[in-house]
Amino acid sequence: MVTVYSVNAFTLNGKGGNPAGVCLDADGLSESKMQAIAAKVGYSETAFVQKPVSAKADYKTRFFTPTREVNLCGHATIATFYLLAKQGRLTLGTYFQETKAGILKVEIRDDDDEVFMYQQLPKWQGTIPKEEVEGCLDVKLSELPVEIISTGEPTIIANVSSLDSLLAIKPDFDRIRRFEQIHLNSLLYVFTFQKKNQLSTAHGRMFAPVDGINEESATGVASGALACYLFRNGLAQNRSYRRSSGATYIFEQGYSMGSPSKILATVRTQSSHISAVIIGGTATLNGNLNV
C-alpha cells in the first residue's frame, strides 16, 4: 500500500482550489506503478517525490495525470511543497525541484502558508486562427491573438470579451481532445478580463481532455503562460502592471466547477526580456488515502 495525500492548491480563503495527490516517498515505485496510482487516485495530477539525480536539486518530482506523465504541474508543486513544510521536512526558504521541465526554484514564504514556484522561461510556439478555437468551443472570441505558450507545458491562450460568454461555454470534450492533439497536445485556456473579484486581473477556464482532465479548477502552468501572454501583448496595464521591472497578476479560476481558486502570477524582466515566471498561492491538506 502507498500513502497518497490529498492537498488542495491555489485555495481562496482556505477553500476551493484544485486537489492534487502527493506521494512523498516514491523512490521504490516504477513508472508504471506511479501511472496506475495516479489513475486510481483520479485527480488531474498526482505528484511523486523522489531523491534527486542532480546535485543541484533537493527533490525530484514526477507528475502524472490519470493517463500520462507530464513535464510540470503547478498546483501539484504547490501542494507538494506545502505538505513537505507542514510535515516539518522543510522550513521557510528556497528549494529546487528536479522535473522533466528542468531544475526549478520553489520558495516557501511566511505569508499565510504561501508557496511560489518558478517555471520555465516562456517559449512561444505559434499562433492559431481564432476561428479554429471558436469552432472547437462554439464561442465568439475577441480580436486578441490566440497563441501557444509554454512555461513547462504548451498552452493555448484565447480571450473572450465577457464573463457570461466564458461561463456559458459547454465544452464538447471529445472535440476539444482532437483539437488539442492537433496542436502539440496543448492545454486549452480561455480567459476574460471580466471577473468575480475586484482585485483579480482575469478569470479563466482550462480544458485538457488530451490529458484525461476535462476541466481543471486551478492550473499553475496555464497561469504562467497567461501571465507571459498579457505581458508580451502589453495588456492589463491598469492591473498591477509595471513595464520597467515586470508585472504581477491575480487570476481566478474554478468558479464554473464550484471550486473558486486564486492564483498569483509574477513576470520579472531584465533588459526588457522576461527573466522569471513565478506562480504561487496557498494550500490546504484534506487527508490521505492508501492505494
Domain ranges in the chain with CATH number 3.10.310.10: 3-113+282-290, 123-280
How far, in Å, CA of 284 to CA of 277, rounded?
24
pLDDT score for 127: 97
- Residues 89-111: b if buried by 16+ CB within 10 A, e if exposed: ebeeeebbbbbebbbbebbbeee
Give the whole-number percent of the chain exceeding pLDDT 90: 90
Instruction: Encode pLDDT of 239-265 as tens digits.
Output: 444 445 778 999 999 999 999 999 999
Confidence at residue 242, expressed as pLDDT on a 0 to 100 scale: 47
Question: For the segment 106-152, what is each residue's pLDDT rounded down to a tens digit?
Answer: 999 976 679 999 999 999 999 999 999 999 999 999 999 999 999 99
CA-to-CA dists, residue 47 to 78, 207, 243, angstroms: 10, 20, 35
Do residues 97 and 71 lie in contact, with contact meaning Cβ atoms separated by under 8 Å? Answer: no
Q: Is 97 helix (H, G, I), strand (E, B) or coil?
A: strand
CATH label, 123-280, candidates 3.40.50.12240, 3.50.50.60, 3.10.310.10, 3.30.565.10: 3.10.310.10
- Looking at residue 66, its pLDDT comes to 94
Residue in the block written with cell 526588457:
272
174-192 pLDDT, tens per residue? 999 999 999 999 999 999 9
Q: What is the pLDDT of residue 236?
A: 73
pLDDT band for 229, please (50, 70, 90 cuts): very high
Q: What is the mean pLDDT of residues 4-10?
A: 98
The runs of H, that is alpha helices, within 114-263 are 130-137, 163-168, 173-182, 220-232
- Confidence (pLDDT) at 279: 97
Which pLDDT score, from 0 to 100, does residue 164 have?
Answer: 98
Across the chain, mean pLDDT equals: 94
Question: What mean pLDDT comes out for the span 220-237?
Answer: 92
237 vs 250: CA distance, rounded Å = 13
Q: Over the stretch 66-96, which tens digit does the pLDDT of each residue have?
A: 999 999 999 999 999 999 999 999 999 999 9
Architecture field, domain 3-113+282-290: Roll (3.10)
- Give the pTM: 0.94
